[in-house]
Amino acid sequence: MLSSRAIRVWTWLHKWTSLICTLFMLLLCLTGLPLIFHHEIGHLLGDEIEAPELPAAMDKQRVSLDVMARAANAQHPQMVIQYAGENEEDPRLWWFTLGPTPEPTENYKSVAVDARTGQVVREYRVGEGFMDLMFRLHVDMFAGLPGKLFLGLMGLLLLIALVSGVVLYAPFMRKLDFGAVRKDRSTRVKWLDLHNLLGIVTLVWCFVVGATGMINTWAELLVQYWQYDKVSALLAPYKDQPVLTAAERGPLQATLDTAMKHGDHRKVSFVAFPGTSFSSPHHNTFFLKGTTPLTSKLLQPLLIDAKTAELTAAPELPWYLTGLLVSQPLHFGDYGGMPMKIIWALLDIATIVVLGSGLYLWLRKPQGARKGAKGTKTAPAGAADALDDAKDPETAAA
């Protein structure tokens, strides 16, 4: 049984972590819902790019990576190719990201090229449309890295709110049958019971999605640390060398062939070209993926010398990057097909109800429960007035 002091501490934690993060969690749940079905919605909106139909004899052929790169670069000859990779939904297409310089920038273009013919199919609508709006709001609220880290902090507050909510409500819920909603009580009590029920049902999911979302906000920092801690030592011989110009580089296809030779039957996830944040000034860095639902999210980097097409290094990803890569599909539920997406969507909707009902219960908390009785020490208000719950559920708050 919790002591009065422990209840006050847990109550304070639950109240303030819940109040601070609720509106941001509602934003993330609302924007995350369409992102679960981003491919399906993209098809409906006409944003998804599909490979044109060709005769069966041509469907298996592939042109060289150099041909595809030249076609993409011809669309924006004033830009340089930063990244390229196979389309996850359709391997007949490759995408190429181009920017003014190799360094990351908001001003970039993305072009889809048919791997069978080497012809440009269409440009992606970068920064346009409904799904891009949802994605940017969900990832960083249009605030870049500071926005990501801020949302990561909100995710941490959510995890604290979940743990403290379980600690405070567990004793009270033992007094009722699981799933009981007291329909004969006031509207507020019925919402309290529904809030508790949905909170318990979605608890594990909320914790998993909240934790993986928080980890994802650290992606840029984790990659930078990996480059500083591990990759920099491997690239010491190339330190301070200028970025290889296009004329100085050898054939792209030769570097792809080297990657495939050492890739242990893996597929290309993406390629980072010299000077970009995922590579070095002297290498084409291939990130290869497995062919199963799980291994397709685990990447193996191969640093291929862009001039000689020789393998320089094949570093193993450290545990923190492996954890990051595993957390990304788990966050959106996109590794188990449509059934998993539907389950994720239903749990997302239930979480929206939990967050909304928690806010409603706080706003509708009786004035006396907020301020405490006259002449007594004011009790902390919030979702966890556990002592009041034990005495009279009518005074409980979300």
DSSP secondary structure letters along 194-230: HHHHHHHHTHHHHHHHHHHHHHHTTHHHHHHHHIIII
Q: Are residues 54 and 196 in the same domain?
A: no
Q: What is the extent of the structural domain holding 125?
A: 43-135
Residue type, 236: A
pLDDT at 134: 93
Contacts of 133 (CB under 8 A, 6+ apart): none
Which strand (E) or helix (H) includes residue 343? helix 337-363
pLDDT at 366: 65
Per-residue pLDDT band at 331 (split at 50, 70, 90):
confident
Q: Are residues 268 and 293 in the same domain?
A: yes
Are the CB atoms for 332 and 37 separated by under 8 Å?
no
Per-residue pLDDT band at 65 (split at 50, 70, 90):
very high
Q: Are residues 198 and 236 in the same domain?
A: no
Q: What's the mean pLDDT in 42-71?
A: 88
pLDDT at 176: 64
pLDDT at 181: 67
Cα separation, 394 vs 182, whole angstroms: 11
Cα separation, 311 vs 219, whole angstroms: 26
Q: Look at residue 38 and tell me if it is in a domain.
A: no
- Tell me the pLDDT tens digit for each residue of 292-308: 776 777 889 999 999 99
- Tell me the pLDDT tens digit for each residue of 342-385: 999 999 999 998 888 888 888 877 655 555 434 433 333 333 33
Q: Is the pLDDT of residue 388 over 90?
A: no
Are the CB atoms for 293 and 313 separated by under 8 Å?
no
Task: Name the residue with higher pLDDT: 173 or 330.
Answer: 330
Alpha-carbon torsion, ordered 264, 265, 266, 267, to 10 deg: 140
pLDDT at 328: 82
Cα separation, 175 vs 172, whole angstroms: 6
pLDDT at 308: 94
Name the 3-class secondary structure at 350.
helix
- Tell me the pLDDT tens digit for each residue of 225-279: 888 888 888 777 777 788 888 889 999 999 999 999 988 778 999 999 998 888 8
Q: What residues does 120 pair with on adjacent strands?
A: 113
Cα separation, 14 vs 7, whole angstroms: 10
Q: Look at residue 31 and tell me if it is in a domain.
A: no
The DSSP line for 158-203 is: HHHHHHHHHHHHHHHHTTS-TT---TTS-HHHHHHHHHHHHHHHTH
Q: Look at residue 113 and tell me if it is in a domain.
A: yes
Name residue, tokens 């409500």. 169
pLDDT at 380: 35
Are the CB atoms for 304 and 330 separated by under 8 Å?
no
Asked which of 332, 350, 376 is the last residue of a domain, the reply is: 332
- Tell me the pLDDT tens digit for each residue of 109-136: 999 999 999 999 999 887 788 888 999 9
pLDDT at 172: 66
Classify strands 109-114 and 93-99 as parallel, antiparallel or unpaired.
antiparallel
Per-residue pLDDT band at 397 (split at 50, 70, 90):
very low
Cα separation, 84 vs 286, whole angstroms: 10
Q: Look at residue 307 and tell me if it is in a domain.
A: yes
Q: Are residues 327 and 389 in the same domain?
A: no
Q: Is the pLDDT of residue 26 over 90?
A: yes
pLDDT at 72: 96
Task: Name the residue with higher pLDDT: 291 or 140.
Answer: 140
Q: Look at residue 154 and tell me if it is in a domain.
A: yes
**Token pair recorded at residue 288:** 């290869």
Task: Name the residue with higher pLDDT: 191 or 68.
Answer: 68
pLDDT at 1: 66
Q: Is the pLDDT of residue 48 over 70?
A: yes
Q: Look at residue 26 and tell me if it is in a domain.
A: no
The overall average pLDDT reported for the chain is 83
Asked which of 135, 164, 193 is the last residue of a domain, the reply is: 135
Percentage of residues of the chain with pLDDT beyond 90: 41
CATH code for position 102: 3.10.450
Are the CB atoms for 85 and 257 separated by under 8 Å?
no
Longest CA–CA separation in the chain, Å: 88
Q: Count Cβ atoms below 10 Å from residue 165 Cβ, excluding itself.
A: 26
Q: Are residues 155 and 13 in the same domain?
A: yes
Specify the number of domains making up the chain. 3
Q: Are residues 252 and 202 in the same domain?
A: no
Q: What's the mean pLDDT in 165-183?
A: 70
Contacts of 350 (CB under 8 A, 6+ apart): 198, 201, 202
Name residue, tokens 């290869």. 288
Residue type, 331: H
Residue type, 364: R
Q: What's the mean pLDDT in 181-204?
A: 77
Q: What's the mean pLDDT in 72-87?
A: 94
Q: Are residues 59 and 91 in the same domain?
A: yes
Asked which of 109, 135, 161 is the last residue of a domain, the reply is: 135
Cα separation, 143 vs 146, whole angstroms: 6
pLDDT at 395: 36
Q: Are residues 275 and 236 in the same domain?
A: yes
Task: Name the residue with higher pLDDT: 367 or 330.
Answer: 330
Q: Are residues 304 and 162 in the same domain?
A: no
Q: Look at residue 37 and tell me if it is in a domain.
A: no
Measuring CA to CA, how many Å separate 211 from each of 159, 296, 323? 7, 21, 11
Q: Are residues 222 and 328 in the same domain?
A: yes
Q: Look at residue 28 and tell me if it is in a domain.
A: no
In this structure, of 72-86, 90-104, 311-325, 368-382, the range with the lowest mean pLDDT score is: 368-382
Q: Are residues 328 and 341 in the same domain?
A: no
Q: Are residues 370 and 306 in the same domain?
A: no
